[in-house]
Structures are given as C-alpha cells and as structure tokens.
Amino acid sequence: MYRPDHASHTATTAHHDDRVQFLVVADESSLPQLEAELALLPLCARGRVFVEVERPEDAVQLSTPMRMTVTWLARSRRSGRPGTGESCSRGEAVTRAVRAWTAEMLCDGPGETRAIVLGGFELATEVQEHLVGEVGMAPAAVTAPSWR
C-alpha cells in the first residue's frame, strides 16, 4: 500500500523518538534495579548502558531496547589510577567510561540526554556531580538514588 506521508521519509528525517538519548550507569550492587529501570525505558530508546562488575563472569544477560548498547566493565581486568600500578577500585572503571562517553557524545552540550545512575553512594554521587556540574545536564535530567 502506497502511503504518501511515508514517501518523503529519508535518513535525515527527524523522529520524535530519536531526540532523547539515555545514559544508564550501574554496578553489581544494583543489578535488580538496573533490570527494572531498563524495563521501563521506551522500546524505541537509544543510548548507552555502562555496568561495572568485579569479574567478566559477573556479567548477566540484560533485556534492553534494541538501540541501547551495553558495556560491561570488569575491575579485575582494568588498572587503577594511571601510573600508580594500583588495581581498579570500585566505581573507577564506570566513572572513567562515563567521562569518556560524555566527552565524545555530549561535546556540544547535553541536549536531550537523560541519565539513570544506580549503584553505591560514591559512584552515584561522582557520576551525578560530573553530569550536572561538568557536563551541564539539568538536575531533573539525572535520576539517581537518594540516601536519607
């Protein structure tokens, strides 16, 4: 069936669902929360998921929207602070990944980006401070646990 409204569609046609991208950050302490948050994302969601775990074997199968890329970051395979010979401490791998991703993907500002930050207090605080304080995301665009 010919649909004239669809005939003008091109690769550069703007789509409402393509305007928002998601950044999801978690560690092994928040896997159940991560699965729940991913299940709540729209099927058309796009973006990046970074999950830090102790060992590669700790990675699990996650159900994500088709246009979400999941990266597992195993601390046992990463070094700590450059030049120190230290091993990677908790939260360090995922924080580095977030900083690199935002530098590359948000170089023109945060635009329509929403972040979901899960995990321990230090991890969530550091990532949230980076996104709001350094990248310039609106605090309302960053969902993070609140410790009371």
Q: Where are the domains of the chain?
A: 18-143
Which H, E and C letters describe 47-90, residue by residue? Answer: EEEEEEECCHHHCCCCCCCCEEEEEEEEHHHCECCCCCCCECCC
Residues sharing a CB contact under 8 Å with residue 20, sequence separation 6 or more, in sequence order = 45, 112, 113, 114
| pTM (2 d.p.) | 0.83
% of the chain surpassing 70 pLDDT: 83
Q: Specify the CATH class of 18-143 in words.
A: alpha beta
pLDDT tens by residue, 106-145: 988 889 999 999 998 999 999 999 999 999 999 999 998 8
